[in-house]
Amino acid sequence: MPALLRIEGAGLSRGGVEILSGVDLEIQSGEIHSVLGRNGTGKTSLACLVMGLSGYELTQGRILFNGKDIAALSISDRARAGITLAWQEPPRFEGVSVQDYLSLSGDGKPDRLEPREALALVGMEPDLYLNRMLDEDLSGGERKRIELASVLAMRPRLAMLDEPDSGIDSLSIDTIDKVIRTIVKRGAAVLLITHRENLAEIADRASAMCGGKILKTGQPDEIGRFFRNHCEDCAHINAPVENDYRVFNALAFRGPTLSPSGEGGERK
Ligand SMILES: Nc1ncnc2c1ncn2[C@@H]1O[C@H](COP(=O)(O)OP(=O)(O)O)[C@@H](O)[C@H]1O
Ligand SMILES: [Mg+2]
């Protein structure tokens, strides 16, 4: 069986600047895969590229969904194929109620989740929110929760969640974990984008991202350790290459000499 999502050597430029290059990433059906990286490393751009937003066209490589090249598909074709993105900054919709938004998300899907049920799963009291408008009166955190509820209602095949824990009144990791497991139980794989190691670690596999590249893919605890040791307060300016001594030398103040694999010299 082909991977659900297979990104091969993907490159992306915006405004003449190379944002992503040589990105390889594979997500299997039913898998939770986290992409862990600091701010500005290209995580959101990668999600926008997979979703097919305008201005986010591949400059190199391929993206396959269920074995089919999706480069020529519009954003709505990709949504119909089952790809969805919960935004880091969810949009506001004037004149659309929470009930409308969640009903539309589940529209036409068999085994749809009722808006009430979807809200309860993200820790929101349905009676307090169903008739609220999706406008600026909702806090950022409330809009993030509603966005996750809409992903639940939508029954996607691939749910990309961009920093689901961001925002002031944000969801706890336990709640996000529960929501993600519900999404998976309902038949989707999850691409979990985060800059928090402890959130990344709820995944089945993880990839560390920096400078528009995937540096390493592996078990979440291993990737979390890599991030903690090399990325969390890294001295370089967002342009590392794994195994590059020039990069890792910048980190040498942390202790023992780093090994060629970049795995040595870990902080306690
Ligand atoms: N239109 C653009 N023109 C030039 N650079 C951009 C543009 N959009 C994003 N970038 C740059 O791309 C990099 C990756 O951004 P982003 O994908 O938002 O990172 P992350 O989500 O990891 O914080 C950042 O350095 C950002 O400044
Ligand atoms: Mg981002």
Query: Two tokens at 7?
Result: 């990104």
What does the pLDDT read at residue 235?
57
Per the domain annotation, does 226 fall within a domain? no
**How many residues appear in the chain?**
268
The DSSP output letter for 32 is E
Counting ligand 1 atoms within 8 A of each CB, the residue from 14, 21, 85, 87 with the most, and so the one to mutate, is 14
pLDDT value of position 1:
76
Residue 118 lies in a domain: yes
Q: Is residue 100 part of a domain?
A: yes
Residue 9 lies in a domain: yes
Measure the CA–CA gap between 164 and 236, rounded to whole angstroms.
27
SS3 200: helix
Indicate the top mutation candidate among 13, 18, 19 to test ligand 1's pocket, ranked by most ligand atoms within 8 A of CB: 19
The enclosing domain of 90 has a CATH number of: 3.40.50.300
Nearest CA to ligand 1 atom 18: 44
Domain count, the chain: 1
- Its sign, for the CA torsion 180, 185, 186, 187, is positive
Residue numbers in the chain where pLDDT is lower than 50: 237, 240-268
Q: 176: Cβ–Cβ under 8 A, 6 or more apart, which residues?
A: 148, 164, 165, 199, 202
Q: Do the Cβ atoms of 226 and 60 come closer than 8 Å?
A: no
- Ligand 1 atom closest to 47 (CA): 17
Quote the CA–CA distance of 205 and 185 in Å, as a whole number. Answer: 17
Alpha-carbon distance values, 196 to 115, 210, 247, 263 (Å): 29, 14, 22, 20
Quick one: DSSP state of residue 26?
E
Residues with CB under 6 A from ligand 1: 14-15, 17, 19, 37, 39-45
102 lies in a domain? yes
Is residue 225, in this structure, part of any structural domain at all?
Answer: no
Q: How far is the CA of 138 from the centre of ligand 1 (A)?
A: 27
**Is residue 252 a part of any domain in this protein?**
no
How far is ligand 2, taken at its centre, from the CA of residue 194, in Å? Answer: 8
Q: Residue 167 sits in which domain range?
A: 5-213
- Report the pLDDT value the prediction gives residue 89, as an integer from 0 to 100: 82
Tell how far the Cα of 237 is from the centroid of ligand 1, in angstroms: 14
Q: What is the mean pLDDT of the chain?
A: 85
pLDDT tens digits along 130-147: 999 988 788 888 988 999
143 within a domain of the structure (yes/no):
yes
pLDDT at residue number 170: 77
Residues around the ion ligand 2 (C-beta < 5 A): 43-44, 88
pLDDT at 234: 66
In 66-197, DSSP assigns E strands to: 68-69, 83-86, 158-162, 189-194
